[in-house]
Structure 1
Amino acid sequence: MKNTIKKLTVIGLGGVGGYFGFKLANRYSNQEELSISFVARGETFEIVKKSGLTLLSPEHENPIAHPAGIYQQFSEIPDTDVFLICVKEYDLEKVCLELKDKIKTDTVILPLMNGVDIYERIRKVITNGIVLPACVYVASHIKEKGTVEHKGNAGKIVLGNDPKNPDYDAQQLVDLMKSAGIDIQYKTDAFPDIWTKFFFIASFGLVSARYNQSIGQINEVPELRERATLIMEEIKAIATRKNIAIPAEIIENTFNKAATFPYATPTSLQLDIQAKKEQTELELFAGAIMDYGKALELPVLESTRIYEEIKAGLIR
């Protein structure tokens, strides 16, 4: 199964959506080959509609790109072949409910989000269409409304086939994104990549949020390293039960990866907890582990414990 892609809509212009949305709008501006639209709200909508989307990145000399269209309401979005969902996990269900009526049998959804249960959560709401599991890496953030700043390595996407529609060929979408200068890798099964990333972001995110310590400190301080290890062991048990093809040395690999970050690097969950933000990715990490543990009848005592400590405000 393969369909011609003519219209693509990016939902959410945060660090991820802004980075990849800019690249697509920049490449396909005023092009008949592919029409790029954005969905944004409030001040971001007003700024981008008037002045375009700004990306501050060493990859682009011209920092402003204009989409073919920008919308505030999902009801306004024209027929779309591909939706890129680039929102925080706590907005995912709401977005899916609003998007549901726009999805046809051959509509493609590409979620560029953190978390191991994103595919399942989308499928609970949207049962038709094609959902491509994906893993995304990009160091970018909102500098101000309508402006995204990118530093470090080029953003990267790993996407895989939809388990529900394994015959769908995503190569045309991959080629269109590569033409926009996006580093994208297409695999039959993207879940090992998704889970490998989760080992790192969940364990280090939870421990850093609990103790307000950097990635380097978690690697170095025995108590913190032990707690991160216990969380990873619980994730590994879940992944094994779900037949995810992760390497046997995944925990050692995760600590080695952490050692490549600058010592004082914080995690986003740590920063959000310290800022006392009402909405964080705590449920994305510990909540998902606890849900899987319950469903698979696996003990996840350490993840539950650290979740309860953070919820109770037992943070340094």
Structure 2
Amino acid sequence: MNKKHIAVLGLGGVGGYFGFKISQENETSKSYKVSFVARGETYRRVKENGLVLLSPEHPVDHTYPDFIGEHISNVKDPDLVLICVKEYDLENVCQQLKDVISQDTVLLPMMNGADIYERIRKIIPGNIILPTCIYVASHIKEKGIVEHKGKAGKMIVGRDPEHFSADVDWIVDVLKESKIDFDFKDNSLADIWTKYIFIASFGLVTAKHNSSIGMVCTDENQRAEASEIMKEIKMIADEKRIALDEDIIQKTFEKAATFPFETPTSLQLDVNSGKENNELELLGGAVLNFGKESGIDTPSTYKIYNEIKAL
């Protein structure tokens, strides 16, 4: 019987952490074929030295996949693809994926956003896509080296609403065998939107003011702006029949208060360093699009979205 082929696209903080776990376990078990795709200097370093993960969880910090390629086209017949790219690269990656996957390939997007499933589905209409929510404190320390701090990373994986009864038990087994902390649910959308309400509101407000998560919690004006964005996202979720907690806004601020005061957000860092590509469309544009589709006004998100665009 052929081994299942697992491909990890992108070796940033998320792909590097979870891809490392799958590859390192597989070096011992040889149960699967594991391929990595990375570009440029990351590709060269991982090809030469393996992928390095600096984490209290792993005393051995190197792993060597079965294959590493620089282009998606180098990957042949994957059974499972972990999509771990920046969200603004998602459409481009999906177009390339169409040429290498079969109708049986399962896609596991590892990026946080409320519209990721729909965006993949538009380009790749027939395949199984498992909507997923990621929690992990990891980042690229240098090319080919990922650093992980804090608690073990966690995945919340849901069934594909369009292929609900598809047999994905073998993927659950991969995650278990790789000692990844995960929950597998019939429906992961509430988890995805609970995280989204946090990253969108805090991302937008910190980007506008070049502030921190702590500042949004304590500054009256910034807290009010974040609350209004959360209310708009909650109304959209209600319209979509996604069951968020009634006190989601209070809970989101409580969660934010557990972060160190000066914690930045990625949108704030990208906008205020003048980076050309950032997550404004993921965190602001998506809310505006969902609002239009649902017939819900989103004036607070619209205002801050345009203020950030003008920076």
TM-score range, shorter chain: over 0.9
Q: Which residue of 2 aligns with 1:48?
A: 46
After superposition, the Cα gap between the structure-2 partners of 1:307 and 1:5, relative to the gap in structure 1 and judged at 3 Å, is farther
**Which residues in structure 2 correspond to 1:51-70 (within 5 Å)?**
51-70=49-68
Deviates more, 1:189-198 or 1:33-42: 33-42
Q: Match of 1:277?
A: 275
TM superposition shift of 1:50:
1.0
Indicate the SS of the match to 2:8.
strand
Partner Cα distance (2:127, 2:234) in 1: 31
Find the partner of 2:221 among 220, 223, 229.
223
Paired position in structure 2 for 1:248: 246
SS in 2 for 1:142: strand
Q: What do the CA deviations read for 1:43-72 (whole angstroms, capped 9, x no partner)? A: 111110111001111111111100000111
Cα distance between partner residues in 2 of 1:4 and 1:117: 34
Contact 1:104 1:128 in 2 (8 A): no
Which ranges in structure 1 are unaligned for 5 or more consecutive residues? none
Q: How does 1:41-120 map to 2 (within 5 A)?
A: 41-120=39-118
Report Cα offsets for 1:86-110 as digits up to 9, x if no partner.
0111000000000012232221000
Deviation of 1:169 (Å): 2.9
Looking at structure 1, the residues matched to 6 and 200 of structure 2 have their Cα atoms a distance apart, in angstroms, of: 31
User: What is the alpha-carbon distance in structure 1 between the residues aligned to residue 66 and residue 148 of structure 2?
Assistant: 23
Secondary structure at 2:134 match in 1 = strand
TM norm structure 2: 0.97
Report the Cα offset of residue 232 of structure 1: 0.3
The 5 Å alignment of 1:180-191 reads 180-191=178-189
Equivalence map 1:135-174=2 (5 Å):
135-174=133-172
Q: Equivalent of 1:39, from 31, 37, 43?
A: 37
In the TM superposition, what is the alpha-carbon distance from 1:226 to its structure 2 partner?
0.4
| 1:143 and 1:149 in contact (8 A); partners too | yes
**SS of the residue aligned with 1:205?**
helix
Structure 2: distance between partners of 1:35 and 1:5: 6
**8 Å CA contact retained: 1:100, 1:126:** yes
Amino acid at match of 1:112: M
User: Any conservation in 2 of the 1:86–1:111 contact (CA below 8 Å)?
Assistant: yes
Of residues 232, 235, 238 in structure 2, which corresponds to 1:237? 235
Which residue of the partner structure matches residue 310 of structure 2? 312
* CA drift at 1:172: 2.0
- The alpha-carbon deviation at position 4 of structure 1 amounts to 8.7
Name the CA shift for 1:170/1:26 in 2 (closer, same or farther; >3 Å). Answer: same
Q: Distance in 2 between matches of 1:142 and 1:259?
A: 25
CA contact (8 A) 2:133 2:156 kept: yes
Q: Does 1:207 align with 2:179?
A: no
Of residues 242, 247, 265, the one that matches 1:267 is 265
Preserved CA contact (<8 Å) 2:72 2:96:
yes
Point out where structure 2 has 5 or more consecutive residues left out of the alignment.
none
Shift of the 5–232 alpha-carbon distance from structure 1 to 2, 3 Å rule, reads: farther
Q: What is the count of residue pairs matched by the alignment? A: 311
Would the alpha carbon gap of residues 277 and 7 (structure 1) be closer, same or farther in structure 2, given more than 3 Å must change? same
Residue 225 to residue 44, structure 1, CA distance change in 2 (3 Å): same
Quick check: 1:19–1:148 contact (8 Å CA) kept in 2?
Answer: yes
| Divergent runs of 4+, >4 A | none
Tell me the SS of whatever aligns to 1:256: helix
Distance apart, 1:30 and its partner CA: 5.9
SS at match of 1:265: coil
Counterpart residue identity of residue 161, structure 2:
P
Q: C-alpha distance in 2, partners of 1:170/1:187?
A: 12
- Asked if structure 1 preserves the Cα contact closer than 8 Å seen for 2:77 and 2:102, the reply is no
Counterpart contact for 1:81–1:108, Cα < 8 Å = yes
State the shift of 1:5 in Å.
6.6
The CA distance in 2 between the partners of 1:165 and 1:150, in whole Å, is: 34
Aligned-residue offset at 1:140:
0.5
**Corresponding residue number in structure 1 for 2:27:** 29
Normalising by structure 1, we get a TM-score of 0.96
Root mean square deviation, CA, Å = 1.3
Give the secondary structure class of the aligned counterpart of 2:162. Answer: coil
Offset at residue 272 of structure 1 (A): 1.1
Q: Determine which of 192, 196, 199 is the counterpart of 1:198.
A: 196
1:20 counterpart residue number: 18
